[in-house]
Amino acid sequence: MATINDVAEKAKVSVVTVSRLLNHPEVVNAKSAEKIHKAMEELHFQPSQIARSLAKRRTNTLGVVMPDVKNPFFNKWFRCLEEYATIHQFSMLLCNTDDDPEKEMRYIKLMQAHRVDGIVIVPYAKKSIEYLIKSGQKFVLVDRIFKDLEVDFVTTDHFRGGYEATRYLISLGHRRIAVLRGEGYIFPDAERYSGFQKAMQETGIQIDENMIMNCGLDEGKAYQQTKELMNREERPTAVFSFNGLMSLGFIQAVQEIGLSIPQDVSLLGFDEIQGYGIFRPKVTHVIQPIKSLGEFAFDMIAERIKKADSVRQQIFLKPLLIVGDSCIQI
Amino acid sequence: MATINDVAEKAKVSVVTVSRLLNHPEVVNAKSAEKIHKAMEELHFQPSQIARSLAKRRTNTLGVVMPDVKNPFFNKWFRCLEEYATIHQFSMLLCNTDDDPEKEMRYIKLMQAHRVDGIVIVPYAKKSIEYLIKSGQKFVLVDRIFKDLEVDFVTTDHFRGGYEATRYLISLGHRRIAVLRGEGYIFPDAERYSGFQKAMQETGIQIDENMIMNCGLDEGKAYQQTKELMNREERPTAVFSFNGLMSLGFIQAVQEIGLSIPQDVSLLGFDEIQGYGIFRPKVTHVIQPIKSLGEFAFDMIAERIKKADSVRQQIFLKPLLIVGDSCIQI
DNA sequence: TATAAAATGTTAAGCGTTTATCATAATTAG
DNA sequence: CTAATTATGATAAACGCTTAACATTTTATA
């Protein structure tokens, strides 16, 4: 591949002028610029980001470390981040940890070896974050945070999401509310649950611990738990499901049992279901401002890259309750 | 961040020895190796991939250019590729084209600027591939190919998938078979349809063009088309849906109309449905060897990187028909 | 202990850029 | 036409590593 020298030669200017055009186009005059551009075209020249990175100590690339792009929430978020970052001339190195602490650590170090300018991470282990801090790495946390760590982050206000959803169910007259939740020690899940608790307490409703179902992460577990739950003598009148996949498992199980939503049980879900647009009844659900989660994440890391000592930012974004037809007044 | 010089100094060896350890560990003896490793640890040293890349003219990174990670098929594939590539010490720069030719072109050039060792691409525009060829870029095509282009590729044998699925439906006695297809000019879709045609012709069944429904890409269109299709006087006895999202749209529409699968209509889908594991009836579907698509893609590009003149590889992988309960004999 | 082999060091160039400094040339203004 | 501006050039060092060639030291072997 052609180098800057080849371009200079072909355009009959010095390499310095070419470099100037690349980095400070305003200081080279129109004629030269044109000659150089022409030479670049002809040679299919693309300045080596590698060499530039080395010289400028800036790679213009971001490391994105997340649990799993297969997860619909994360892949939507990633796309938003990518789109926004691309506009700002950043590329992304992507890796998936599967919530495995060792992978997470390994990948973080890999990103550092690549000298990414910053890391955007949806973390799993606190230890990883402590390492990031102590190694002086610039980074921002997304979605999952650690309350006692003084770092930049942007996340949905999961507590509020859980709270408002629950209040909504209560306002419809529901008292026996079941919860399909995931890994309780992960921030979003824990917060949503706290929100749920608060709403229940505030309104003086006793939480029935037997109706708090732990469903891991996938729809299979939620499906099984639902079968068990809905075949009890005393069924819940409403179910609050903590993510889209669980909602799916719930719906399927309920259908098989021969019950219907919302006549027999109301459903309120967190996040969307893949292909949800056509589901009937439309499920009432809490959505997260995914686009903003991507854009804030970028803005924050960009800011931090610009000045290491810029003020710390901790942003909680408001979730939104989308009312469908899956919850009824009782 | 510490450099190789700092390490050398701390370990009281020359930089060359450190470099040797990094690149040809077999030539440095155990004691020195240990000293150096210790120094690296203490300094949190990570060799700069940037500097290494520049010196070695090798980045050990792959550019992955694909339509959209949000697509369940692609994100599964990407994960397989990532996992396998990581084992072989490759990192991945990822970008999504949304099947926009201009984005595709821009991203390809971006990858080149980053001097990726190779590009793995699920292409959209033929023009992009022609550019790749003429610029001497090393690359492999995945899933979507151009038959008249002499390049490395790995893809599912979509023709065979379409053919075998159709033969299966025919073997169950179906004659009025409808197809929910997507963008016909994209290779997989076109091939699946050709396979369908061949099977129909071979068995002397007339294709009813009115039952070939174009559904774009999303479940919404498939949903609408299904509603139209299934409300006709003469309904198909079976439907062959070309992807998971469409199957979803179909299922929902059929349910709403009040028909059931497979009693009123059989369904055979290509690819899986998100959360399909719990769907009842289990839908009969053709699956692609996603893992192999990832691993072959990597092996091929790795081979090509090793020797530019290695023999061209064009691989068609066998799809697999998974029989569920969504198709019945009539 | 002499000799061969293995490990390390020294030096230097190179990868493709950027950037600073200073000098010179071209253009514009007065 | 001269002085002030503006644009370019020449030169060189730097970014952090690799690699080759050769010299020297250390270790193992006979």
Å: A4 CA to C17 C1': 8
Residues A59, B51: C-beta atoms closer than 8 Å: no
Closest residue, CA to C1' of D9: A14
Distance CA B158, CA A125 (A): 42
Residues on chain B touching A135 (C-beta within 8 angstroms):
44
Distance CA B230, CA B246 (A): 15
Q: Residue A216 has what pLDDT?
A: 84
Q: What is the DSSP letter of B311?
A: P
From the number of C-beta atoms within 10 Å of its C-beta (0-12, 13-18, 19+), residue B19 rates as: middle
How many other C-beta atoms lie within 10 A of the C-beta of residue A280?
13
Asked whether strand C has any atom less than 7 Å from the CB of A39, the reply is no
Which residue, B62, B56, B49, B57, is CA-closest to B91?
B62
Residues on chain A touching B7 (C-beta within 8 angstroms):
none
Cβ atoms A270, A181 nearer than 8 A? no
| Strand A320-322 with A284-287, pairing | antiparallel
Is the pLDDT at A303 greater than 70? The verdict is: yes
Give buried/exposed letters for A234-256 (b at 16+ CB in 10 A, else e).
Answer: ebbbbbbbbbbbbbbbbbbbbee
Distance CA B47, CA A128 (A): 20
Asked whether strand C has any atom less than 7 Å from the CB of A51, the reply is yes
Distance of residue A260 Cα from the nearest chain B Cα, in angstroms: 13
Name every residue whose Cβ is closer than 8 Å to that of residue A244 and which is 6 or more positions away in sequence: A72, A73, A269, A270, A271, A272, A273, A274, A276, A285
Q: How far is CA A129 from CA A35, A104, A302, A310, in A?
A: 49, 10, 19, 19
Closest partner residue to B113 among A49, A92, A96, by Cβ?
A49
**Residues in chain B with pLDDT < 70?**
276-277
Query: Which tokens belong to A249?
Result: 């498992």
List the nucleotides on chain D closer than 7 A to a protein CB: 6-12, 14-21
Q: Residue B276 has what pLDDT?
A: 66
Residues B54, A51: C-beta atoms closer than 8 Å: yes
Residues B219, A70: C-beta atoms closer than 8 Å: no
Domains of chain A in sequence order: 4-47 (no CATH), 59-156+290-318 (3.40.50.2300), 158-288 (3.40.50.2300)
| Single-letter amino acid code for the residue at A224 | Q
Closest partner residue to B112 among A46, A68, A278, by Cβ?
A46
How many other C-beta atoms lie within 10 A of the C-beta of residue A12?
11
Residues A48, B277: C-beta atoms closer than 8 Å: no
Asked whether strand C has any atom less than 7 Å from the CB of B308, the reply is no
- Give me the numbers of helices (H) and strands (E) for chain A, helices first please: 12, 12
Q: Residue A38 has what pLDDT?
A: 96
Residues on chain B touching A220 (C-beta within 8 angstroms):
277-278
Percent of chain B clearing pLDDT 90 (strictly above): 91
pLDDT tens per residue, range B287-317: 999 999 999 999 999 999 999 888 999 999 9
Query: Which tokens belong to A149?
Result: 């760590």
Residues A110, B91: C-beta atoms closer than 8 Å: yes
Which residue, A168, A167, A160, A206, is CA-closest to A328?
A168
Q: What are the residues facing B119 on neighbouring strands? A: B63, B139
Closest partner residue to A112 among B46, B53, B75, by Cβ?
B46
Å: A36 CA to D10 C1': 19
Distance CA B197, CA B190 (A): 10
Which residue, B264, B324, A324, A265, is CA-closest to B256?
B264
Distance of residue A89 Cα from the nearest chain B Cα, in angstroms: 10
Asked whether strand C has any atom less than 7 Å from the CB of B7, the reply is no
pLDDT tens per residue, range B23-57: 999 999 999 999 999 999 999 999 999 999 999 99
Give the mutation candidate from A56, A98, A100, A114 for the B interface (greatest B CB count, under 10 A). A114
Query: Which tokens belong to B100?
Result: 């926009």
Residues B69, A47: C-beta atoms closer than 8 Å: no
Residue ranges in chain A assigned as alpha helix (H)? 4-11, 15-23, 30-43, 49-56, 72-87, 101-113, 126-134, 158-171, 187-202, 219-230, 244-257, 290-306
Q: Residue B219 has what pLDDT?
A: 79
pLDDT tens per residue, range A90-130: 999 999 999 999 999 999 999 999 999 999 999 999 999 99
Distance CA A321, CA A269 (A): 10
Q: How far is CA A146 from CA A140, A149, A186, A305, B188, in A?
A: 12, 6, 10, 22, 45
Percent of chain A clearing pLDDT 90 (strictly above): 91
Helix crossing, B219-230 with B244-257: angle to 10°?
A: 40
Nucleotide nearest to B16 (CA to C1'): C9
Distance CA B283, CA A55 (A): 56
Distance of residue A55 Cα from the nearest chain B Cα, in angstroms: 10
Cβ atoms B252, A278 nearer than 8 A? yes
- Order of all β-strands in the sheet with A266-270: A212-214, A177-181, A238-241, A266-270, A284-287, A320-322
Distance of residue A316 Cα from the nearest chain B Cα, in angstroms: 25
Closest partner residue to B78 among A53, A61, A69, by Cβ?
A69
Closest partner residue to A279 among B110, B245, B252, by Cβ?
B252
Which residue, A188, A169, A186, A187, is CA-closest to A178?
A169
Q: Residue B294 has what pLDDT?
A: 98
Is the pLDDT at A276 greater than 70? The verdict is: no
Is the pLDDT at A35 greater than 80? The verdict is: yes
Distance CA B52, CA B245 (A): 44
The residue of chain B nearest to residue A250, with distances taken between CA atoms, is B278
Distance of residue A200 Cα from the nearest chain B Cα, in angstroms: 31
Distance CA A140, CA B46 (A): 21
Distance CA B156, CA B315 (A): 8
Residue with tokens 């240990």: B34
Residues B219, A86: C-beta atoms closer than 8 Å: no
Give the torsion through C-alpha atoms of B271, B274, B277, B283, to 10 deg: -40
List the nucleotides on chain C closer than 7 A to a protein CB: 6-12, 14-21
